[in-house]
A and B are shown apart, each in its own frame.
Chain A
């Protein structure tokens, strides 16, 4: 057996703990059966318990599976072991949540039984599969978040665990809300969905999407675990994920055209897909530049590799935010070219957007460099001021026309492109200077 799974089972799934969980579940079911039906049923009690065991408590245990090792100073020992990243990931994901799954599986039959009775075995199987995948998705999201925070080395394990738990719960809850909202779609007669021109059953598409995103979450955990265990990751999996995201979202473009009553000309269809890709890549750039460490030492090392023309080594060591940023720039360039060819007025904000993105990314690197490895929240505050306070002030002063100098806006004058790129290039120059050694001392002296 996987040694990491075995150790976690020793720690987490002791016979006493399992007996207590079974006793609690039985007690709740008995109470639910004894109360009047309007107060609740065994099904609703099982649902609440499933969410408690698998999602609420399970995400905490999944997040703690690495954070607690660091807190208890056993992580170095694990990193030095021969356990591979796949074994380590599954051992932690399933082992640390073994007791949670025990409780969750006890709750599953009472949850599925009414679906089986009302809608038949296929629907029941679909529902059970969805709940199991949902639980694993929540826990994988929590583990993935914890592995990302571990790289940031915040030192605040309580807050880290809580944030990872929130990430896992949010992932599960958002998906479950969508699943529930399908009932409303179906009652309105929309049982199918068109994606890349193909018609799919709504629930089946939804479940397959969950499975696909669960797979990506597991791949993310595996890659982060590889990095922790000192394997080199390379950029290709992240690039594949970005490509998947763009293709997945672009599949909904015709549906959007239909819903928003947009121009359905073929070129516009392509432009819409590109716009969606640019937004997706921009969003991933912002999230990754916030989440990833951006250590000045590492940035300096990358710079030295470039200077020494070790291009392959530098490319293989690029962080996810750098790849996302590069992809966003490339997609923006293609979009601008297409919009120019069409003579669209959208070309100005499309050309300004990567300039503002460059500025914002550089702010993260700059603040991190000056603060020597910290300062992401300060960077976030600066962006908050740029995107919230500055517009408020300008609007209050009746200078709304100047807004286009600070953020991308539809209908902006050509000056917005110059302003965006001027800010972007200046901030990038400052960011590059900030990763030089001794910058903090120089600033203090100044």
Chain B
């Protein structure tokens, strides 16, 4: 669906992206995380065909952003980190304009506006001025504008920033619904804890590069994420785990590992037995909510140590 190959982007005076390559599969929610200034927004803007890369390519549905930016625009919705609304216009007019601006005919625009408003829970506020909405409701309106034409790809830059916990929960639900409807979403975020609620893969961007060189699987409904710790370090842990059925290693070293295991309690018991049987001194083996954060900091910290 979205393929980036050796993407390089330069600002005057510094290189923002250093040969980034990645692939985003259809009907997934991919989270882009990383410190401020890491290049997340530039990456999203390149994907949205709003910026022309210095080198490399971005293709969406096989269309190159350099060759066919307008065709790509028709296929995607984009919510920038600092977005604006026409504050004087009502919610209805904002959405009607967004629908018409995305090529929906005047006869269908009213229906599309109503549908988008209903989707984000703004159906009862259609006549309210956009400027009179709260932060959370403005965010919803902005998302409704981005999805009014039912794009195949939705790019969201820090959509949860400034939202209260309830609005964040609603946002997570909305993103999952959109994915269920067939959209491919790429969401940039700082809030790691919430990524698990909606995203299936996490890409850590650090200093203009993909940290670790690849995406990290965040959540798989059929595979629990487990943290394994050893009382005594063992160099063969990663290789051993990789050979076990149903296991996907997210990160591993001699002292422990973060992995996903396809299956339920019996498979978990079988893996534990295999580990113990192979001589690994297992001191902890359980689901770990903080694991994602650990991976993030491990990747970003290792990036900071680079010269």
A142 to chain B, nearest CB (A): 22
Q: Does A4 contact B (CB under 8 A)?
A: yes
Distance A80 CA – B51 CA, assembled complex (angstroms): 12
Q: Are B82 and A73 closer than 8 Å at their CB atoms? A: yes
A372: Cβ under 8 A from any B Cβ? yes
Cα–Cα, bound, A76→B84 (Å): 9
B10 within 8 A of partner (CB)? yes
Query: With A10-B89, A230-B70 in contact, is A82–B12 under 8 Å at CB?
Result: no
Question: Which B residue's beta carbon lies closest to that of A374?
Answer: B12
A297 with B12: in contact, given A7-B97, A76-B80, A82-B101 (CB under 8 Å)? Answer: yes
Among the listed stretches B25-33, B71-79, B210-218, which one makes contact with chain A, having 4 or more residues with CB under 8 Å of it? B71-79
Question: How far, in whole Å, are A77 and B93 apart by their CA atoms in the complex?
Answer: 15
Chain A CB within 10 Å — which of B11, B12, B69 has the most? B12
For chain B, the bracket of interface size reads 20 to 34
Q: How far is the CA of A24 from the CA of B58 in the complex (A)?
A: 55
Residues on the A chain within 8 Å of B86, using CB? 7, 11, 72, 74
Q: Least Cβ distance of A83 to chain B in Å?
A: 5
Q: Are B78 and A296 in contact (CB under 8 A)?
A: no
Q: A3-B97, A4-B101, A73-B82 are in contact. Are A82 and B10 (CB under 8 A)?
A: no
Q: Which B residues touch A297, using CB under 8 A?
A: 10-12, 54
Kindly state the interface size class of chain A when it binds its partner.
Answer: 20 to 34
A3-B100, A6-B97 given; A79·B12 CB < 8 A:
no
Would B103 and A82 count as touching, CB distance under 8 A? Answer: yes
Q: Would B100 and A231 count as touching, CB distance under 8 A?
A: no
A80→B145 CA distance, assembly (Å): 11
Closest to B155 in A: A80
Taking a contact as CB atoms under 8 Å apart, the answer to whether A3 and B101 are in contact is yes
Which chain A positions have C-beta within 8 A of B83? Answer: 73-74, 76-77
Which of A72, A74, A82, A440 is in CB contact (< 8 Å) with B102? A82
Bound: A74/B130 CA distance, A: 13
Q: Which of A69, A74, A76 has most chain B Cβ within 10 Å?
A: A76
Q: How many A-B residue pairs have CB under 8 A?
A: 85
A301: Cβ under 8 A from any B Cβ: yes
Q: Within residues 1 to 23 of chain B, which ones have a CB less than 8 A from any CB in chain A?
A: 10-13, 15
- State A230–B48 Cα separation when bound (angstroms): 11
- Give the residues from 84 to 105 in chain B that come closer than 8 angstroms, CB to CB, to chain A: 84-86, 88-89, 93, 97-98, 100-103
In the complex, A82 Cα to B13 Cα: how many Å?
33
| Contacts known (A7-B97, A11-B89); A76 close to B78, Cβ less than 8 A | yes
Q: Using Cβ atoms and an 8 Å threshold, which residues of chain A touch B97? A: 3, 6-7, 10
Considering the complex, give the chain B residue whose CB is closest to the CB of A11. B88
A437 at the interface (CB under 8 A from B): yes
Q: Is B242 an interface residue (CB 8 A)?
A: no
Question: CB < 8 Å: which of B49, B78, B101 contacts A230?
Answer: B49
For B70, give its contact among A7, A77, A231, A295 (CB under 8 Å). A231
Q: Is the CB of B12 within 8 A of A6?
A: no
Residue of chain B at shortest CB distance from A231: B70
B54 and A78 form a contact (CB under 8 A)? no
- Chain A residues, Cβ within 8 Å of B80: 73, 76
Given contact pairs A7-B97, A81-B102, A230-B70, A74 touches B84 in the complex (Cβ within 8 A) = yes
Q: Which B residues are CB-close (under 8 A) to A230?
A: 49-50, 69-70, 73
Q: How far is the CB of B20 from chain A (nearest CB, A)?
A: 17
Residues of A within 8 A of B49 (CB): 230
Q: Is the CB of B13 within 8 A of A373?
A: yes
Could you tell me the distance between the alpha carbons of A229 and B50 in the complex, rounded to whole angstroms?
9
Contacts of B77 in A (CB 8 A): 80
Chain A residues positioned under 8 Å from B50 (CB to CB): 76, 79-80, 230
Contact assessment for A296 and B101 in the assembled complex, using a CB-CB cutoff below 8 Å: no
- Kindly state the separation between the CA atoms of A385 and B83 in the bound complex, as whole angstroms: 44
Establish whether residues A301 and B145, one from each chain, have CB atoms under 8 Å apart when the complex forms.
no
Q: Which residues of B contact A437 (CB under 8 A)?
A: 10, 15
Q: Which residues of B contact A82 (CB under 8 A)?
A: 70, 73-74, 101-103
Bound form: Cα–Cα A297–B50 in Å:
16
Chain B residues within 8 Å of A11, by CB = 86, 88-89
What distance in Å separates the Cβ of A369 from its nearest Cβ neighbour in chain B?
9
Which residues of B are found within 8 Å of A440, using beta-carbon distances? 13
7 A–B contacts from the bound complex (CB under 8 Å): A7-B101, A73-B80, A76-B50, A77-B78, A295-B12, A373-B12, A440-B13
Contacts A77-B83, A296-B12 known; 20 new A-B pairs at CB < 8 A: A1-B106, A3-B97, A3-B101, A6-B100, A7-B86, A73-B82, A76-B50, A77-B101, A77-B146, A80-B73, A80-B76, A80-B77, A81-B98, A82-B74, A230-B49, A230-B69, A230-B70, A297-B12, A297-B54, A372-B13
The 8 closest A-B pairs by CB, nearest first: A73-B84, A373-B12, A3-B100, A82-B103, A81-B101, A372-B12, A230-B69, A372-B13
